[in-house]
Amino acid sequence: MPRHLFAFFIGLAFFSLSCKDSDKKEDPAPQPEPKEVVSSIKVMTYNIHHANPPSRANVIDLDAITNVIKAEKPDVVALQEVDANTQRSGPGNQAQQLAARLGMQFYFVKSIDYQGGEYGVAILSKYPLTEKTMYMLPTKAGTGGEARVLATAKVTLPDGMVFRFGSTHLDAQSDPANRQLQIEKITDLASQESLPFLIAGDFNATPGSEVINTLDGSFKRTCQACAPTIPAVSPTKAIDFIAYKYPAPKLSVVSHNVVNEQYASDHRPVVAVIGIAK
């Protein structure tokens, strides 16, 4: 064989062996597996305007509210502007009536006495409710603001997970002073809770306000660029939110939606699916 060909093949063999040796690298350190969503909670918040469709003065249409909730199939619902035995809405507690129609449990909390009955907020749940608790929220003296409350309960899911769920409706005055006091009270209560804490309601404040900034300091809202929720027809402002605070397990937003419902109430309902990771 000519010398130049012999040298060529020797060099080629050496190069091949060198490449194989260089490919023998240690396996990289194993990376932690990403958190896997193994279950979820579907949450709704709905200011029901005492079941009075704004387009129909003095009409109570609880069927319309029932159908809106039924269509979304939520696990838990935070209701605001709920009547119980008032003159305008007639006999019966609207939260109890909705729960019976939907096959859910309920917890109603009065904010104020109204027209011979009561007016307030409520929780509906497909799952057991325990440790039902009502907290009065502060109102600054001399402002004439209505009394406001936070209703909470422990919810136990079929897989055994337990979380606290709250429904609230903050002050509606143009001056945010009462809303600020109220959200500070809520975040203080949340800081003392060891369970995952989900809260939903009508905050009467928009993203970027001091009230929502305070909420965001303790909770994570299910929307950041939030679609408007009021008025129901051609809405212009987002004031209805769902948010969560978790010490454990890990929670995350799977989906968030403002339901295009324009008849049943003056607010559009908000629905979010919150994932629970391992």
Calpha distance 22→13 (Å, rounded): 14
Q: Which two tokens stand for residue 123?
A: 């929780």
More confident residue, 33 or 36: 36
Query: pLDDT tens digit string along 54-80?
Result: 999 999 999 999 999 999 999 999 999
More confident residue, 249 or 251: 251
96-121: average pLDDT: 98
Give the global pTM. 0.86
Domains contained in the chain, CATH given = 37-277 (3.60.10.10)
How big is the CA angle at 69 (ends 64 and 75), to the nearest 5 degrees? 165
